Amino acid sequence: MVAPRSVAVVTLGCARNEVDSEELAGRLAAAGWELVDDAENADVAVVNTCGFVEQAKKDSIDVLMEAAELKDDSSARTQAVVAVGCMAERYGEQLADSLPEADAVLGFDSYADLSSHLDAILHGEKPKSHVPVDRRTLLPLTPTARRSADVAVPGHAQDPVIIGDLPSGVAPVSGPRVFRARLDDRPWAPLKLASGCDRRCTFCAIPAFRGAFLSRRPAEVLTEARWLGERGVKELFLVSENSTSYGKDLGDIRLLETLLPELTEVEGVDRVRVSYLQPAELRPGLIDAIAGTDGVAPYFDLSFQHSSNAVLRRMRRFGSTEDFLGLLRGIRERSPQAGIRSNVIVGFPGETEADLEELAGFLTEARLDVVGVFGYSDEDGTEAATLEGKLSADEVAMRLAHITGLVEELTAQRAEERIGERVTVLVEGPDEDDPGTMVGRAAHQGPEVDGQVLLPGVEAAPGDWVEAVVTESLGVDLVATPAELVGTRPAAAVKSAG
C-alpha cells in the first residue's frame, strides 16, 4: 500500500491567515493529503507567509529558509517547500528570485488547485511563480456588483464542488460543504466575515494584495460557525480587514448587527467576539449590538492609528482626539467594563512634536486595555512612501520608545483598575511555566495579543468556563480567584458576567 502524501501547513501572521491556512488544509485533505503538524514529518511544507510589515516579512523568510534546510536533513521527510500567503501574493516572482530554496511561490489564484501544484512539485516540476497584480482591479468598483466576479478570495472557499466525500473532520456529514480542517484544538477559532479593504490609508499596502472589500454571505458564515461549534469551539473570533463594512456589498450595511444574535445561537458556541473595527465607520447600532447582545463579548478592537487630526489627514483617515474620546465615552456608557484595544503609528511623515504629545495625551485619557505601538517605515507601493517630511530612523525610534513606555504604564494601570471585577474566563490550558496554573481569557481580552487571566490552583480543561474575581494584575495580565467552575455556559450567562 502506498503511503499517503503528507503536508504541513505553517502559518505566520494574523488570525485571517489562520483561516486561510485551514481552508488550504481542508482542500488538501479532501484531495487525499495527510495533514501533519511538523514540516520535518511532511513531504511538503506549505508556508503561509505574512507580508504586512518589515519584521513580518523577515520572519516569513526565516521560516521558509528553515523549512528549506530540512530538505538536506536525512532525518527529515521534507522534499519540497512552497510559499503561499500575503508575502507570496505581494512579491511573487521577486520573492522566488531572491529565495531559490523555495520550490514554488504561489499566489491566491492557486489555492483552489493547490493539490495539483504540490503533486507536480513532488514529480520534479516547478510551477510558474506568481505574477503580482493590484487585486483591487479584479473586482468591480461598485461593491454590490462584486458578487458575480470570478475572483479567488482566500478564506471564502467559493468553489462549491469537490468530487467524492470529504474526510471525517473536514466537512459536515450533511449540508453545505465547509472547506476547512482545524489545525489545532484551541477552544476558540477565527471565523472570516470578509476579505479586502476599500479604504486608502496612505501607509497600508494590504488592499493592493488582498483586494477590494468582499463580504461572505451570512449563510456561509453561519454554516462555518456551526461546523466549528460541532468541533469544540466555544468562542468565535470574527475577523476581516474591516468588520464595520460588513454587508455593504450585500446591500445591507447593518448586516452584522443582525448576524451577531444568530451566531450566539449556534450550538456549542458560548461567546462571539468581533475584531478590526474602523472608528470612523462605527455606527451607534453596531456599538449597541456588540455591547448589548447576550453572548457577544463587549470588546472593541478600534484601529485609531493616531489621534492628531493633522496626522490622520496625511494618513487619509478620519477623526481627532475629541472624536475618539467621545466614541470611547459612548462605548463605556453602554458597557462600563468593555475591553478596548487599538494600534498607533508614531513617526509618520510630517508628525510634529506637538502631534506626538497630542497622541500621548489621548492615550492617557483613553484608558485602553491594550495598545500596539509601531514606528513608521516606508512600505513598498504606498502613498506614504512618497510623502515629504520624513523623520530620521533615530527620531522614529526615540518616539517609538517614548510612546511604548507610556503605553506600558497606562495599560498596566488599566489592568489594575480591573481588580475586584467579576470575569468569565475561557480556559485555554496550563501555563507553560507553571502547570499548576491554568490560563484563559476574559471577555475584554482578545486571543493571543491582549493579555490573559491566570487561575492558580484551578483544575480545569481547555474549553471550560471559570467565573472568577480579579485579585491582582501583572502588567496587562490578571490573576483571578475562581468563583465557580462550569463546563458549558449559556451565552447569556457568559455575557452578563463580563
How do 370-375 and 422-430 pair as beta strands? unpaired
Please tell me the distance from the alpha carbon of residue 367 to that of residue 359, in angstroms, as a whole number: 13
Q: Is 463 annotated as a binding residue?
A: no
| Sheet containing 44-49: order of strands | 34-35, 6-11, 44-49, 80-84, 104-105
Q: Is 412 annotated as a binding residue?
A: no
Q: Is 83 annotated as a binding residue?
A: no
Q: CB of 395 within 8 A of CB of 364?
A: no
Q: Is 330 annotated as a binding residue?
A: no
For residue 392, with 0-12 CB atoms within 10 Å meaning exposed, 13-18 middle and 19 or more buried, which class applies? exposed
Residue found by looking up cell 484601529 in the block: 303
DSSP 393: H
Distances (CA, A) of 42 to 70, 205, 496: 10, 33, 46
Q: Is 77 annotated as a binding residue?
A: no
Please tell me the distance from the alpha carbon of residue 60 to that of residue 490, in angstroms, as a whole number: 40
Taking alpha carbons only, the member of 256, 186, 262 closest to residue 224 is 262
Q: Is 86 annotated as a binding residue?
A: yes
**Total number of residues shown for the chain:** 498
Distances (CA, A) of 217 to 148, 156, 319, 327: 13, 9, 30, 29
Taking alpha carbons only, the member of 478, 372, 475, 371 closest to residue 418 is 478
Q: CB of 271 within 8 A of CB of 470?
A: no
Three cell numbers written together for 468 = 472568577
Q: Alpha helix (H) ranges present in 315-392?
A: 321-334, 353-366
Extract the annotated binding site for [4Fe-4S] cluster.
Answer: 14, 50, 86, 197, 201, 204
Extract the annotated binding site.
Answer: 14, 50, 86, 197, 201, 204
